[in-house]
């Protein structure tokens, strides 16, 4: 079945780096844009970044620009989020999610989500 599985979360000190992975299965990964969305404890959803199906375009929310990098390896059916210069306010559950339709241009709904991976930034 269609599935996304995140990994790589954990506890990290402020200023350090962490890389999240999201492994996809059950669909033709290379034809879908992929997103990262986060949710701080007890808070709402915040979109973080998107990478288009072929990796040519990437977009970020302002608060992570210059610190986070989204990438994908279509040969491994995996999307990544490299996070650096981490701050306490980056503490959240990080979800990956896929676009609803193939070859979308960032205007689709997110029809499949992973279970999330927790990132805690604390000294």
Partner 1 sequence: DIQMTQSPASLSASVGDRVTITCRASQSVFTYLNWYQQKPGRAPNLLIYAASSLQSGVPSRFSGSGSGTDFTLTISGLQPEDFASYYCQQTHTIPVTFGGGTKVEIK
Count Cβ neighbours within 10 Å for each residue of 83-105 and write b for 16 or more, e otherwise. Answer: beebeeebbbbbbbbbbeeeebe
Q: Shortest gap between Cβ of 85 and partner 1 (angstroms)? A: 19
Which three-class secondary structure state does DSSP give residue 6?
Answer: strand
Shortest distance in whole angstroms from residue 63 CB to partner 1: 10
Quick one: tokens of 121?
């930034």
- Of 2 and 11, the one with the shorter C-beta distance to partner 1 is 2
Q: Residue numbers of the site for partner 1 (CB under 8 A)?
A: 35, 37, 44-47, 50, 59-62, 95, 100, 106-111, 113-116
Nearest residue (CB) to partner 1, 61 versus 77: 61
């Amino acid at each position: 079945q269609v599935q996304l599985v995140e990994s790589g979360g954990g506890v990290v000190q402020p200023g350090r780096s962490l890389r999240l992975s999201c492994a996809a299965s059950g669909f033709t990964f290379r034809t879908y844009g992929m997103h990262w969305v986060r949710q701080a404890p007890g808070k709402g959803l915040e979109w973080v970044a998107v990478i288009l199906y072929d990796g040519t375009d990437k977009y970020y929310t302002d608060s992570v620009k210059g610190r986070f990098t989204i990438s994908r390896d279509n040969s491994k059916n995996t999307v990544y989020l490299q996070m650096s210069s981490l701050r306490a306010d980056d503490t959240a559950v990080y979800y990956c999610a896929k676009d609803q339709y193939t070859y979308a241009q960032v205007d689709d709904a997110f029809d499949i989500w992973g279970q999330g991976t927790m990132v805690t930034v604390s000294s």
